[in-house]
Amino acid sequence: MKRTEDILSKLLLQNNDDWEIENVVCDDSVEEIRITLKYRHPTIKVDGNEFP
């Protein structure tokens, strides 16, 4: 059986492998799903510039 994180990864993170889902919290009382993302690399490149 697939984990919630695996299913959401397929739906939300299709374009690249730079991000992963770290945590998923489902709050039925307010019909809300909170997803915590984690960047897999120590720095991020934007238009040729690197940021921590």
Residue range of the domain that includes 13: 4-51
Q: How many domains does the structure of the chain reveal?
A: 1
Collect all residues with Cβ–Cβ distance below 8 Å to 19 and sequence separation of at least 6: 13, 37, 38, 39, 40
What is the reported pTM? 0.60
Looking at the chain, the number of H-run helices and the number of E-run strands are 1, 4
Q: Can you name the residues that pair with 51 across neighbouring β-strands?
A: 44
What's residue 8's pLDDT?
A: 79
- Cα(40)–Cα(47) distance, rounded to whole angstroms? 19
- Cα(22)–Cα(38) distance, rounded to whole angstroms? 6
Task: Write out the chain's pLDDT in tens, 52 residues.
Answer: 677 777 777 777 777 788 888 888 888 899 988 889 888 889 988 899 999 8
